[in-house]
Amino acid sequence: MKLESKVPDGPLAEKWTHYKQHQKLINPANKSKYTVIVVGTGLAGGAAAASLAELGYKVLSFCFQDSPRRAHSIAAQGGINAAKNYRNDGDSVFRLFYDTIKGGDFRSREANVHRLAEVSLNIIDQCVAQGVPFAREYGGLLDTRSFGGAQLQRTFYCRGQTGQQLLLGAYQALSRQIGLGNVKMFPRCEMLDLVTADGKARGIVTRHLETGKIESFTADAVVLATGGYGNVFFLSTNAIGCNVSATYRAYKRGATFANPCYTQIHPTCIPVSGDHQSKLTLMSESLRNDGRVWAPKNKADAGKHPREIPEEARDYFLERKYPSYGNLAPRDISSRAAKEACDDGRGVGPGGRGVYLDFAVAIAKQGEPRIREKYGNLFQMYERITDESGYERPMRIYPAVHYTMGGLWVDYELMSNIPGLFVVGEANFSDHGANRLGASALMQGLADGYFVLPYTITNWLAGQKPGVTPLDHPDFKRTEAEATDQIKRLLAVKGKKTASELHRELGHIMWEHVGMARTKQSLETAIAKIRALRAEFWTSVNVPGSDADLNVALERANRVADYMEFGELLALDALQREESCGAHFRVEYQQKDEAGNPNGECERDDDKFCHVAAWEYAGPEKQPVRNVEPLAYEVVTPSKRSYK
């Protein structure tokens, strides 16, 4: 398959402007003749649905929660990047672009990333106009703070609730359009499948989660804004409902899945405390503005109270290893450094799986009230979960699965390889390469939804005759029948294990063998184990109840069924990418220190792997096809990524 990125010609900094000046337009009077389905109401989907309706398209908007406002984006804490340079600390569109490309370990498409940095400026203006209560300095200007992978302060924030405030902004824009009748909202409606007809995306099949009704919807274009797949690891910082099903089912209908092995492990999460847990909690990266990360230098100190360990017996390992970025080294690098300290026997807390995040110096310098003002709700959350006060003793943190850079492959216009299927936000693979920088996901979701898709979808629709495929078309009937059949099959197994138990087992395999350190052997083991578990799933899952009403066990089993297949795709991608880059760490491919020993830093192989791997479904239990989009760097020269 040839993957056409459709990156416009011309100098990098002018590509997007040039695109907008030359894209096809649709007469405002004709826009309402086009129907667009938007699945997902997080920042990407909410912004997209509101903006498309504002333009005049008829929009059908779907989410599985009871309200669009409950999308997972609401959980985002720390902030959103933008190259506003309000602080005069040397920021620019180019620097944000460069930091993002470098942060992604030179595995993203230059033109997309430059556009993201350009559009970041508009996002802040748009959100301020909506009334988003960004933190302000005394003088009234918007305040900013630092996030990983940048040596300046470009992260705008609303205390520790940035996602919530941004989502309320997008939600009110969406509500306005719902009120005007331009958006028809379908909450509690889960997309089960994508309908393609004549080689184009023409609609979706859904299940209403309260009534169990399976229904089809038809449109001129379909937008997926369905978020990331981190929960394939079972334990992650994602909301429990986050899942891969929409994108995975689109993959099975022909959309290619790009770089599934790029999964981000966040360094600052509350450590796992036992088998009872079904979710992990993030302590925002913003805390690393003031918190210092350390582990005891000596194994013998690991069991002591932190205040009993004197300064000279502490290893501030990020400050030691990466003096220029210190505690704000990017996530992939910080996570590996924490794991290294724990693997070395110097981890703290239960099972030795933790390092300290210490605010003592910041409190001494700035006073507790100031720290409370900046991070109060995060400290409160930490205390509620651990029963320890982060003001009185250092927090304990450990890396956890957090974000997925992989997703459905999209071209410059955010269209997948299926014409008419667009993918935005975390669901696509587009901008973050092998590692996302903190505070860049909200930026990307809103950039896609408010400022990119409205142009690019118009360019595509302008070439299409308006008019949806009738719902009695055989492709709708066939897809609906297949989705119904899967539900019946799940109910018919009547085994002995819950879907959650099987999901937990899958997560265990993923974390042990496809987690922070991957080897050829561990990945081959994972693939064999996942295959066996998948077979077991289909003979031993127990889904009580019926499909005719609210059945949370059925919802879950249907999603876990997809994870059982997707986990293998992720491991296969990791196996075939024989290099280390960003968050994808293959133990065999490490840089060496002066003595020739592996030093824990990624060894990329630009000759063989400077490309996007886009997987094409080949049928049940068949090995998918690995397609490649070469990454051509016109402006940046890929170099050894160093934060020292």
Ligand X SMILES: Cc1cc2nc3c(=O)[nH]c(=O)nc-3n(C[C@H](O)[C@H](O)[C@H](O)COP(=O)(O)OP(=O)(O)OC[C@H]3O[C@@H](n4cnc5c(N)ncnc54)[C@H](O)[C@@H]3O)c2cc1C
The residues annotated as belonging to the active site are 331
CB atoms within 10 A of CB 412: 20
**Binding ligand X by CB under 6 A: which of 161, 165, 259, 440?**
440
C-alpha distances out from residue 120 to 82, 116, 393, 439, Å: 5, 6, 37, 11
Q: Which H or E run contains 592?
A: strand 590-592
- Binding status of residue 76 toward ligand X by CB under 6 A: yes
In order, the DSSP letters of 183-213 are EEEETTEEEEEEEEETTEEEEEEEEETTT--
Least distance (Å) from ligand X to the CB of residue 542?
A: 23
- Binding status of residue 120 toward ligand X by CB under 6 A: no
- Binding status of residue 289 toward ligand X by CB under 6 A: no
Q: Which H or E run contains 156?
A: strand 155-156
| Closer residue to ligand X in complex, CB, 78/394 | 78
Distance (Å, whole) CA 304 – CA 299: 10
Binding residues for ligand X restricted to 303-362, rule: CB under 6 A: none
- Binding status of residue 515 toward ligand X by CB under 6 A: no
Least distance (Å) from ligand X to the CB of residue 539?
A: 25
| Closer residue to ligand X in complex, CB, 288/314 | 288
Contact assessment for residue 224 and residue 232, using Cβ atoms and an 8 Å cutoff: no
Distance (Å, whole) CA 111 – CA 13: 8
**Binding ligand X by CB under 6 A: which of 226, 416, 456, 479?**
226
- Binding status of residue 79 toward ligand X by CB under 6 A: yes
Q: Which residues contact residue 556 at a Cβ distance below 8 angstroms, ignoring those fewer than 6 apart?
A: 499, 500, 503
What three-state secondary structure class fits 36?
A: strand
Nearest to 269 by CA among 290, 249, 293, 241: 293
Least distance (Å) from ligand X to the CB of residue 601?
A: 25
Q: At what angle do helices 93-103 and 110-130 cross, to 10 degrees?
A: 120
Determine the residue with CB nearest ligand X: 42
Distance (Å, whole) CA 120 – CA 591: 34
The site string for ligand X over 153-192 (x = CB under 6 A, - otherwise) reads ---------xx--------------------------xx-
Classify 326 in phi/psi space as left (phi over 0), alpha (psi -120 to 50) or beta.
left
| Closer residue to ligand X in complex, CB, 71/302 | 71
| Closer residue to ligand X in complex, CB, 431/579 | 431
SS3 labels along 437-455: CCCCHHHHHHHHHHHHHHH
The site string for ligand X over 29-68 (x = CB under 6 A, - otherwise) reads ----------xxxxxxx----------------xxxx---
How many residues bind to ligand X according to rule CB under 6 A? 45
The site string for ligand X over 227-256 (x = CB under 6 A, - otherwise) reads xx--------xx---xx-xx----------
| Closer residue to ligand X in complex, CB, 346/556 | 556
- Binding status of residue 80 toward ligand X by CB under 6 A: yes
**Binding ligand X by CB under 6 A: which of 3, 341, 363, 439?**
439
What three-state secondary structure class fits 136?
A: strand
Q: Which amino acid is at 301?
A: D
**Binding ligand X by CB under 6 A: which of 425, 433, 515, 624?**
425
Least distance (Å) from ligand X to the CB of residue 349?
A: 20
Least distance (Å) from ligand X to the CB of residue 246?
A: 4
Least distance (Å) from ligand X to the CB of residue 343?
A: 25
Binding site for ligand X (CB under 6 A): 39-45, 62-65, 71-73, 75-80, 162-163, 190-191, 225-228, 237-238, 242-243, 245-246, 282, 402-403, 425-427, 439-442, 445
